[in-house]
Every structure is written in structure tokens, then in C-alpha cells.
């Protein structure tokens, strides 16, 4: 997906896809590291995977925080 995004012309659609990929990367990292994830690392990884074609400044680009739902909340929603 990252390679395809790098081939796209600059547009709102490209920016939205970059954002979705970065947020998805964060969610996946949180699965393996419950204590938290460094957003700057995710953005560095994205730059590395794109061979430098996607460079987001960690001071300017803020990733959303995700919370894992507790079992109790999940059961309440299913009722």
C-alpha cells in the first residue's frame, strides 16, 4: 500500500491514505506494545518503508490515541 501511495500525485486523497496507513500502523503496534507507542517512530518507519518519499514531521503531524475496550464495555454493547 505504501508503494502505491508514493506513486500517487499529491492530492487530498493521497493525504487521507497516508493518514489512514499511519494510524493503522499505530493500532498494530499497540497490539504488541500495550504500554504505548512513540508516534515519531511510526512516522520514521513510514519514511523508511516509503524510501523517503513520505516524510511527516512528528512535531506537526499528530496521530490519534487509541484505547482498548475493556471486556465489560464490550459485553454492555452486545446486550
Pairwise CA distance, residues 24 & 30, whole Å: 10
Q: What is the pLDDT along the chain (79 residues), one digit of tens a residue?
A: 999 999 999 999 999 999 999 999 999 998 888 787 889 999 999 999 999 999 999 888 888 887 766 555 556 666 5
Strands, E assignment, the chain: none
Q: What is the pLDDT of residue 24?
A: 93
Q: What is the pLDDT of residue 18?
A: 95
Pairwise CA distance, residues 28 & 20, whole Å: 12
Q: What is the pLDDT of residue 76?
A: 63
Q: What is the pLDDT of residue 16?
A: 95
Query: What pTM, to 2 d.p., does this model score?
Result: 0.76
Amino acid at each position: 500500500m505504501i508503494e502505491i501511495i508514493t506513486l500517487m500525485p499529491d492530492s487530498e486523497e493521497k493525504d487521507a491514505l497516508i493518514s489512514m496507513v499511519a494510524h493503522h500502523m499505530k493500532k498494530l503496534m499497540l497490539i504488541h506494545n500495550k504500554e504505548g507507542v512513540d508516534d515519531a517512530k511510526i512516522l520514521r518507519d513510514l519514511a523508511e518503508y516509503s524510501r523517503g518519499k513520505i516524510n511527516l514531521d512528528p512535531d506537526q503531524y499528530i496521530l490519534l490515541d487509541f484505547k482498548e475496550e475493556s471486556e465489560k464495555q464490550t459485553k454492555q454493547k452486545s446486550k
